[in-house]
Amino acid sequence: MGLMQIIKRGFENPRLVSIVYAIQLILAMTIGLQVYQVFGASIGNSLSLEGLKVGDAHMVINDLLNTHGASLSPLLGQVRWMVIVYLIVAAFVHGGIWHSLINGYDKVSIWIGGSTYFFRMLMIGFIMSFIFIIWSTLVWGPYLSKIRYWMEHLPSEEPILWGGIAMVVLWSFGSIFIFVASSFCKVLVIRDQEKVGSALWKGIKKSITKTWKCLPVLFLFFVLLAFLYLMHSFVDDWTFLSTTIGVFLLFVIQQLIVWIKIGLRVSTYAYLKDRL
């Protein structure tokens, strides 16, 4: 199967992509509204953010924390709850997407899949998130803890840079493995009606042998997503988008990019489903 055929799989049901987009938009607007209210009430028309225009981010962050820390603290404290809310919403969405891909899509399949497999998807999400945190800590913890010592004792920063690149590559491979294992686990739960524990074990074993075979296609998906982000950044720098019509146009382009990203995610899931 060619790459274009694989990508097309994610856009065969635009209604599915649009429903996922709408759910994510509602969640993003809910969180964004809280952030806007905190900044609007506390910072208002403050010039504290002006430093970002000249790249003085470090001083801006210090100023925000010192001047508006009391208002920002409750918001930062809510981050952990936002993560939990995200996992809950993601469990429903993933259940709906995988059910639609495995059993066929119709107008209610995403809702049936999301409700039927919600708790199992939520359990998988928590377990795989915990594994991802452990993996990230094991990779980055020792490296980050030694950076200051290396900067003081090494003759140049080049070894630190190359070490960081090596850590990124290692962390990325491990993260892809975890992603593939999580996807296989969800397929086994929905398609084969496996229990979560059994599906996790089988999904991890399957991913050990199949992740390497999936890497070329997954890498191409990554390149496509990177291109979308690059295009977004390029469009964001257009001067005429600072006008009222331009702001509206920029919003439309941003949302179109988000919609396409969701379609690519569905394409990735469909590809991995066929590999198991």
Summarised one tens digit per residue, pLDDT across range 165-220 is 999 999 999 999 999 999 999 999 999 999 999 999 999 999 988 988 888 888 88
Within 10 A of 272 (CB to CB), how many other CB atoms are there? 24
| Per-residue model confidence (pLDDT) at position 54 | 46
Give Cβ neighbours of residue 56 (< 8 Å, ≥ 6 apart): none
**pLDDT tens string 75-99:** 555 666 777 888 889 999 999 999 9
| Average pLDDT of the residues of the chain | 81
Residue 203 C-alpha from the chain's centroid: 21
Q: For residue 180, count other CB atoms closer than 10 A to its CB.
A: 25
The rounded distance, in Å, linking the Cα atoms of 32 and 6 is: 34
Supply the DSSP string of 45-70, one letter for each residue: T-GGGGGGGGT-HHHHHHHHHHHHHH
The domains of the chain are located at 9-42+78-275
| pLDDT at site 52 | 44
